[in-house]
Structure 1
Amino acid sequence: MTSHQSLGANLNRIAVIGAGHVGATAAYALMLRALVHEIVLIDSNTALAEAEAADISDANALARPARVWAGDYADAATAGIAVITAGGATQGSQDRLSVAAKSAAIVSDCVDRLIAAGFAGIIVVAANPVDLMTLVALRRSGFSAAQVIGTGTLLDTSRLTQTLSQTLRVAPASIEGFVLGEHGNSEVAAFSTVRIGGQTLDQFCRGEAQPDLPAIAREVRDAGYAIVEGKGYTSFGVATAIVRICEAILRDEHAVLPVSTLLTGEYGLSDLCLSLPCILGAGGVERILVPALSPAETAGLVASAGILAAAIAGMEPAPNARV
C-alpha cells in the first residue's frame, strides 16, 4: 500500500475544493481541530473562496496557529489530502441520485485539474451522490482504490448511534453499529452490528420495551432531507465526518469507519463504491471489513448496490477511466 511519505505529500496541508456551505464548514472544523498547519480553499468563484478563507482566518486568530487561504490547484499539488465538496446541490426532499450527472461533470473537472497539477495524495469525496462521485473520482484519477474515499454512511452511522443513544439512554460513544450501503434512500441500518457493552440489541433490551427499529431506520435515513427542508442545506454533520476521516488518515489511526470504497467481491459485489466498515490509516483504506449481517440486511445491501449500479449505468457524462 502506498503511504503519504512515499508520495511526497505535505502532511501539513489539506486542500478543500468547493467553498460552499460544506467546504467552508469543513475548512473551519479542520482549523478548530488543529490537524494541519495549512488549509487552502479552492473554488471556481474566487471571491467566495477568498471571503470564506478570510472569515476563517479571523476565527483562527483566536485558535491555534494555521494558515488558511484561497488558492488554486497548484497549491493542492503537494497537499496530503484533497477534499472534494463541489457538486450538484439537492433541494428539499430531492433524491441525491437526481443530481448525479451535474455532480459527475463537476467532480470530473476537479479531479482532472488535481491530477494535472501533480496531486498524488488521498482524495476524500463529499459531493452527492457520494457513492457515485467516489467512483467517478477513482476512475478519473487512476489512483488506487485505497486513495479515493467517500464520506459514505459515516454521517448516517453517527445519526444512528445518536438516535439509539436517546432511545436507550446510553452515551453515543458507548454504542457501536453501522449504516451500510448507499448514502441515500436505499441505505441499510444494520442493527445486527449494534453492540452496547459487548451486548447485542436483543441482549441489552431483554426485559425492557423493544425500540421501534424500522422507525429509527426511517428517522436516520430521512434526517438529511429534514435538515435541507428547514435550512436549505446540510453542513455541520458532513463537515465533521470529513474531519474525522482526515484525522484517521493524518494520525495513521487504523480506525474503523463506514466509508464509501470500491468493492472487489464483498457480498458478491464489485465494480461499484458503497459503504462498509473500513480500516483507515496513512495510506487511506487499509482493509474492508465484512460484517456478518442478517439475511434481510444482506438482501438490503445487495438491493442498495443494484440501485447504485443502475444509476452508474444511466449516468451521463459517464465516469470514464483515465487513460
Structure 2
Amino acid sequence: MIDLSRCAGTVLLASVLLLSILLKLRDRRAVDKWLRDRFPRVRGPVLFPAVLGAEAALLAATLTIGPGSAGFLIVTCGVLVLSAWLFRVFGHGRGGCPCFGSASLSAGLRAEMVFLIVLVAELVCACLSMRWRMPVWLFCAFAAAVAVGFYLLSAGLAMQNFLGAPMADGGKQGAALLGEAGRGSKPLALIFLSTRCQVCMTFLKYLEQSSELFAHWIDLRLVIDGLDVTEETMFGASTIVPVPYRLLADALQVVESPTLVLWNGSMATRHRGIQACNLALSEIARVRLAAA
C-alpha cells in the first residue's frame, strides 16, 4: 500500500526540481556565465551540463525513492538548502545563486528560502505519514494545488521581466558609481548591452535612431560590455558612460544583456530582455507626456 503523504512530499519536491531545471534551461546563458565566472579554472562548456545532469539524476531518484522513504526527501531538501546557501555565500551576496535561473540571480528570489519551505513541508508530510493515511482525494487536491501554485509562481516571475523587479537598495550602489549622472531631474534609464550579443547590437542601432524621441523625458545612458570609454561619449541623444561594465553590473546585479535599470525618483526597477526594455522606455515616455 502506498503512503499518500509521502507521495505528496514527492510531488512537491519533484515539482521544485523540475522548475529549477526548466528555469536553468530558459536562462542558460546567464547561468552558464555565472558558473564560468565563479569557476574560471574549468575549461569548456562542462559545468552547466554537469549541474543539469546532477539535478536530473536527483529528480529521478526523488521520483523513484521518495514515495517509499520520507527520510530521503528530508535529507535531499536539507542538502538543497545548504547548497543554495553556499552558492549565495560563494557569490559574495552579489548575483544570488543560479538555482532558479535569472529569477534567483537577479529577480530577488532567494533559492535557499524556497528549499527551506519545501523542507518544512516534507517534515509535515513525514509526521502525517506516521499518524494517518491521506485519502486519495486529498492527495489529488494537494497535487493540483502544487501545480497551480507553481504555474502562478512562474507567471509572476515572467511578468517581472515586463513590469520590472524592484531593487532592494533602490539602486544606491549604482547611483553612487554614476555620481552626478544619477542625480538629474529626469528619470534615468541605464541600459546594459554587450558587443558579443547580436540582439544588443540591433537594439543599439534602434537606440541611436530613436534616442532623440526619448531625450525629452528620459536621461538615457548606455553601459556596453566590450566597449571601454574614458569619458562620457554621446551616442545619438544617449550617453555611453565611462564606468566599467562589470563594476556597474555587479553593483546592480545585472546578469544578462540587454537589461534596463530605471530610476524614477527614489524607486529603481530592473527590466530584462529587449521587449521589457522597450516597454519600460515607452511607458516612461507615455507617463511623462500625459503629465505635460
Query: TM-score over 0.5 for the alignment?
Result: no
Which has a greater percent of helix? 2
Which has a greater percent of strand? 1
Q: Give the structure-2-normalised TM-score.
A: 0.29
